[in-house]
Amino acid sequence: MRVALTIGYGKISPAFDTAEALLLVPVENRAPVERQMISLDMHSPLERVEQLRVWQVNTLICGAISEAIEKLLVSAGVHVVSEIRGPVEVVLGAFLSGQLKGPAFEMPDRVRARPFFSGANRLPGKDCVGHLAMECAVSGDEICEGR
C-alpha cells in the first residue's frame, strides 16, 4: 500500500489543492518502508490527481480538498481521508494504527454536516466508513464486507 500525506512545515498541509509538498510512504505490514518527499510547487490540482495515480497511491491524507478534486481522486481509486490536521509523523502513526479519529486530528473549521468519512471516502468495493475504513485500507482485511 502507498500512503500520501500533504505536508507543510512538518504538519498536514491545510489544503490539498495548494499544498507545497507531499510525503509518499510505501507501507508493508502496517509499517512505513521508506519516505519520499515530493515537491508539488509546479503541479495544478489536476496534475496532482494524475501524479497520485501514476505513483499508485492508495490513500491520500490531507487537510481540506475541493469536492471536484476529491471526486476525481476517488474515481481514480484513491481513498481520500480529508479534513485532517496535525504533525505528519503523528498523523501517519495514528492512521497506520487505526487511531486517526477524533477532535485532535480534525481541522478546527471542519464542516459538521459532512461526516468525518463521507460517502466519497468509502473504500472501493467496501461498505464501511470511519476507523473500519482505515483498518481495511491499512491491512487489506475484508472486515467491512457485508456491512
Return the pLDDT at 134: 42
Query: Could you give the C-alpha distances from 6 to 80, 89, 99, in angstroms and in order?
Result: 12, 12, 19
Strands 79-81 and 59-61: parallel
pTM of the model: 0.74
**pLDDT for position 110:** 57
Nearest C-alpha neighbor of 85 from the set 110, 48, 66: 110
The pLDDT value recorded for residue 75 is 93
Mean per-residue pLDDT pooled into runs of 10, the chain (147 residues)? 94 92 95 94 85 94 95 95 96 95 84 42 41 43 34
Q: Which domains does the chain have, with CATH numbers?
A: 2-139 (3.30.420.130)
